[in-house]
Amino acid sequence: MTHLAHPVSRPLVMGILNVTPDSFFDGGRYIDHEAAIARGREMILEGADIVDVGGESSRPGAQPVSEDEELRRVIPVIAALASAVPVSIDTTKPAVARAAVAAGATLVNDVSASLEEVAAEVGVGFVAMHRLGTPADMQNDPRYDDVVKEVTEYLAARAARALEAGVTDVWVDPGIGFGKTARHNLELLAGLGEIVALGYPVLVGTSRKTFLGHLAAGNLDAAGTLAPGSRAAPLSERFEGSLASATFAMTKGAAAVRVHDVAATAQAARLVGAVSQ
Ligand code: HH2
């Protein structure tokens, strides 16, 4: 990653910092700027290589946020943290991406994979993530013939578009949970090597997501199929699956994992780095 001050030969840990009232895991905890900045500083001490600041939840059914409100949420937080750690901005809005970079962010993390021109114009890295549908409808019976093939082809096309636009630091992300069933998510993790083989650094975000609630509750059969009508275990019971899936992704070649549980994942990243030398 070109914007890191100290390049490291292990997977990177991206700490999640949602300055929102409604994010599915940390919503409401860091809506106050002081609390958000304090959590960012804590994540640096815990070993975060990057802090990903977001001002709009993308969870299924989330309400869209106005540009002004998103800016009000994220810009002071980015300005306070960017001198201490590389910061990415998790947004789909061009104006928010531009203002975030002006405040010090060096990576645009775009779940809509459409801001490559903005990233090129302001000279920062770009994460193209795959999603099927929008937060309003994405978990409404998503279907693929071959999820690994379709996501890999989509990411190859979006990454090529970003390179053509002039972005030099292009990342791809399979978008775990964005228009995917539990089984699709597991297939994407199993097939991560195909996405890694595209040659771009791969970011993976499984942290505390619903399929891990099903794993924790024992709702998945041996093939990863979900029993009909089953309920996911609560967020508080998804830590172990989050760490296991992040470690699996790093072992499969992910260049970075996006997580809430920074301290534990940083240990896993150091371990993966040490055994991969
Ligand atoms: N997942 C979320 C948000 N942004 N960005 C990337 N690149 N990859 C992801 O998997 C990803 C992402 C959803 O998680 P979170 O930010 O914790 O929740 P919310 O969208 O409710 O704010």
What percentage of the chain reaches a pLDDT higher than 70? 97
pLDDT for 260 equals 98
Distance CA(105)–CA(87), nearest Å, equals: 5
Q: How sure is the predictor about 2, in pLDDT bands with cuts at 50, 70 and 90?
A: very low
User: Which pTM value belongs to this model?
Assistant: 0.95
Residue 39 bears catalytic tag: no
Separation of alpha carbons 224 and 198, rounded Å = 26
Distance (Å, whole) CA 24 – CA 260: 11
Pocket test for ligand 1, best of 57, 131, 171 (most atoms within 8 A of CB): 57
DSSP assignment of 247-263: HHHHHTT-SEEEES-HH
The number of beta carbons lying within 10 Å of the beta carbon of residue 223 is 7
231 is catalytic: no
d(CA 25, CA 59): 10
- Kindly give the residue spans of alpha helices, DSSP state H, lying in 130-206: 147-165, 182-190, 192-196
Query: Which of 12, 26, 59, 209 to probe ligand 1 with, by most ligand atoms within 8 A of CB?
Result: 59
Q: What is the DSSP letter of 236?
A: G
**Distances from the Cα of 219 to the Cαs of 138, 144, 236, 244, in angstroms?**
21, 22, 17, 17
CA of 135, closest atom in ligand 1: 20
- At residue 125, φ and ψ (nearest 5 deg) are -70, 165
Q: For the chain, how many residues are written?
A: 277
Percent of the chain past pLDDT 90, that is, above it, reads 87
Q: Which residue(s) pair with 171 in the sheet?
A: 127
Per-residue pLDDT tens over the stretch 69-94: 999 999 999 999 999 999 999 999 99
Which residue type does 196 have? V
Query: What pLDDT digit, counting tens, does each position of 90-131 carry?
Result: 999 999 999 999 999 999 999 999 999 999 999 999 999 999
In three-state secondary structure terms, 174 is coil
Atom of ligand 1 nearest to the CA of 62: 21
- What type of residue sits at position 161? R
Residue 94 structure tokens: 């061009």
Nearest CA to ligand 1 atom 2: 58
The number of C-alpha atoms within 13 Å of 19 and in the hemisphere containing its C-beta is 27
**For the chain, how are helix, strand and coil distributed in percent, rounded to 5?**
40, 15, 45
Confidence at 21, pLDDT banded by 50, 70, 90: very high
CA 47 to chain centre: 17
Calculate the CA 184 to chain-centre distance: 17
* pLDDT at residue 72, rounded to an integer: 98
pLDDT tens-digit map of 218-240: 999 988 888 888 999 999 999 99
Is there a contact between 128 and 116 (Cβ–Cβ < 8 Å)? yes
Residue 8: pLDDT band by 50, 70, 90 thresholds? Answer: low
Q: Which residue has the tokens 């172990």?
A: 240
Q: Tokens 């949970």 map to which residue?
A: 177
Pocket (CB within 6 angstroms of ligand 1): 16, 18, 20, 23-25, 54, 57-59, 90, 109, 111, 127, 129, 173, 175-176, 203, 205, 258
- Virtual torsion, Cα 216, 220, 224, 229, nearest 10 deg: -120
User: Cα separations (Å) of 233 from 24, 139, 147, 237, 245?
Assistant: 14, 18, 25, 6, 16
